[in-house]
Amino acid sequence: MNKWLECVDTLKDVRRYMHNEADPRIVAALDMAIAKLEGCIAEEGTGQHCWAEAVTEALVVIGEILMCCNTLAELVKHFGS
């Protein structure tokens, strides 16, 4: 369970460092993923479906955040030249 708590803490850190500057849809998805993971942790006896859904949502939102970072890097690269 410690690894799951660590994962949630890391996602909360990501959320905190975003300073509400990200797309509100991504922020909302991140908040939802954190809440679902916390729900699975709170109910230790939850089935695989709960964990699968929560982890999938977390991975999707992490992918969206990474895509934003990649897009920003490309823009800086393009306009920085």
Give the rounded percent of residues in the chain with a pLDDT score beyond 90.
44
CA distance 12 to 43: 20
Mean pLDDT of 45-60: 87
Q: Are 54 and 39 in contact (CB under 8 A)?
A: yes
- pLDDT computed for residue 47 by the predictor: 80
Q: What's the rounded Cα separation, in Å, for the pair 38 and 25?
A: 20
pLDDT band at 68 (very low <50, low <70, confident <90, very high): confident
Supply the pTM of this predicted model: 0.82
**pLDDT tens per residue across span 18-27:** 876 778 898 9
